[in-house]
Amino acid sequence: MSVRQPAAPAAGVFLLIVGLLPIVNWIPGGRQAPWYATAVGGWLSGSAIVLGVAVVLVMVSRGVPALRPDAWLDHPAVARVAASRLTGPALAALALLLYILIARLVFGGRPLVIDEVLQTFQAQILIRGRLWLPTGAHPEFVSQLNLIDAGGKTYSHFPIGGPAMLALGELIHAPWLVNPIAGAVSVLLFHRLTSRVEIRPRVRLAATVLFAFAPFTAFMAGSFMNHVPALTWLLLGLVGLAEVTVGDRPSAWWAFACGLGFGMAATIRPIDAAIFAAPAGVWICARVIRGRLPLSILIAAGAGLAVPVAALLASNWATTGAPLRFGYQVMWGPDVGIGFHPSPWGERHTPSDGLELINLYFVRLQDYLYESPVPGLVPVIGALFLTRRLPSFDRYLLLTAGMLVAAYFAYWHDGYYLGPRFMYPLLPLLVLWTVRLPSLVRERFSPAVTRGVLFGYGTSAIIACIAGVPVRVSQYAGMFPVMRWNVSEAAQAAGVRDAIVLVRETWGAQLLARMWALGIVRPEAERIFRHVDACRLEEAISELEVHGSGGSSAPAAALSAIAPLMADSSRLVRSPFSPDSSERFEPGQPYGALCVERINDDRGGTTLLAPLLLARDANLYVRDLHQRNRAILEEYPGRPVFLLRPPPGPGQPLPVFHSVSRDSLLALGSSSGPPAR
């Protein structure tokens, strides 16, 4: 039953404000979007082109009926395709092929950001039949920002579900295949969902096509990001919910699928899952209480939810020591979650910060959603304004969308990679409302206006395919070349086998790892690194490493020794000497020979250790810590030693293996640039 509701136009007003206005640039002292004027210029020129072409085609089509797109959509063949049971599987198969091509040709089949790398690392732990690895005697040589090494256990800080999905791919040495398959399954599930919540067959067909091939969908499906399988499981939950609430024959199996989908999503992205599951649970309970559903539906949904949630809690217990304590809380402390409080870095997250982030997310969506010349949310806004009645499931989707936006309004981190990734769960709703616009226009306006909208859609799609998408493909294909590098193949070609490979990272990365080794937790270490001159920090850490501060109070003693150095933080500037501008410099602070040497190391070329942790060879890849390298050499006697660093020069050259004298390293006790044999 449909009822008149203000939710749709209210959502349209919200998107109009946060999706088109540069609110982030109006708030002083916060984030900025310096690219906004350029983006608006592109939207205006692109929209003018699309509008002009649409007007011309409408005029031409008056005398040439064969050109009318509404006549094409009314063709019986379209209706047959929309009604066919093969349509969903066929579109999913085509989508899978596209996603595989993107995964391999655009992203190189490699994890490209630290989140992807460490979830893949955790997947490799899982296929060994373990939830964690014993922490080594010297964790500073391999420690990473999102890798926990506490309580003698080493594991990533992510919930277990995402790595578990990647582990399925690791079993066949193809973790890159997991997200394309998950994306294709999402297409199937979305097609099933639209069959329950959309009465117009042609809209269902168009929505599935757009969902499958929207650039935001496709690029994310080619990545390693956990948002993709999370959306797959959310869609299973949505399909199950639709079957038991608006379907013709609600069954306990669909109810179980509803709970299972939301429960599995909770093992990957708990907050997203809770946002969708909580209103669904209330809805099902209300219908059971009113006698519209049998109690067995509620029991089945609860059982489906309980199974994966129990697995999540058990994995937390085994790793963090408490069922409700997640890895990111172990690493970052209580201030990591949702709320207006200091972030792990120390800066307070305020409502104005949240408004900036939400504004950025939706302004970015205008381009990343469809890569079209017209802002991607404009059709959604138009459809929301034209909607007069909202069926119950649409009200549920708008409610969950509002809750998702509210949650990330209260979250301090900017989720930006391949687009505003925190908004990825909104894809089904945004696609559905985009496709509904022509039908809503058809109900309210003349056939000529409907044709204009359809011609505009077609023109936008063509321009996106010719101009927008190729530019994005080129951008994505060229980013992070070092992350794509196959170190195992390079090591084999260089004759590096069963070796210790010292990886030359930046001075800043070394300072952070050494603070972690002293027991200073990640948030405090980050805060210190951002507020202390790098050379003074080097001297303080070295003093603690030499003289130590043993006992159970060692971390507190280390922190108390280093923290006073932050007193002069107001005078700091970004390092004018090192390519790593995250390092801090206090003007007037003299740099001794060791600090000058570290700056020269940075200038001489550095690389990243994190992607090398996934290497499939017998080499041991560790961080080059110069004078501390003796510890790792003595732990692994007899192994040849190599230094890995890129050659100096412009661009981002790939690293090169340099043979190093083990005896020289041991004799010197410290070396910023081990001598070659």
| Domain edges within the chain | 3-477, 481-504+605-677, 510-599
Q: Which regions in the chain score pLDDT beneath 50? A: 1-3, 550-552, 670-677
Give Cα separations from 316 to 155, 324, 327, 395, 473 (angstroms).
Answer: 11, 7, 7, 34, 38
Find the Cα–Cα–Cα–Cα dihedral 65, 66, 72, 74, rounded to 10°.
Answer: 40
DSSP element (H, E) containing 623? strand 620-623
Looking at residue 311, its pLDDT comes to 97
Amino acid letter, residue 574: R
Looking at residue 84, its pLDDT comes to 87
Residue among 156, 125, 126 at smallest CA distance from 143: 156
Looking at residue 76, its pLDDT comes to 80
State percent of the chain over pLDDT 90. 71
List b or e across 537-553, with b for residues whose CB sees 16 or more CB atoms inside 10 angstroms: bbebbeebbeeebeeee
Close Cβ partners of 423 (under 8 Å, ≥ 6 residues apart): 361, 362, 365, 404, 405, 408
Looking at residue 549, its pLDDT comes to 56
Looking at residue 321, its pLDDT comes to 93
Find the Cα–Cα–Cα–Cα dihedral 385, 389, 391, 397, rounded to 10°.
Answer: 20
Looking at residue 664, its pLDDT comes to 77
List b or e across 337-362, with b for residues whose CB sees 16 or more CB atoms inside 10 angstroms: eeeeeebbeeeebeebbbbbbbbbbb
The helix-helix angle for 161-170 and 227-245 (nearest 10°) equals: 110
List b or e across 274-299, with b for residues whose CB sees 16 or more CB atoms inside 10 angstroms: bbbbebbbebbeebbeeeebeeebbe
CA–CA separation, 450 vs 319, rounded Å?
Answer: 57
Looking at residue 612, its pLDDT comes to 95
pTM over 0.85? The answer is yes
Looking at residue 553, its pLDDT comes to 54
The partner residues of 585 in beta bridges, in order of sequence, read 573
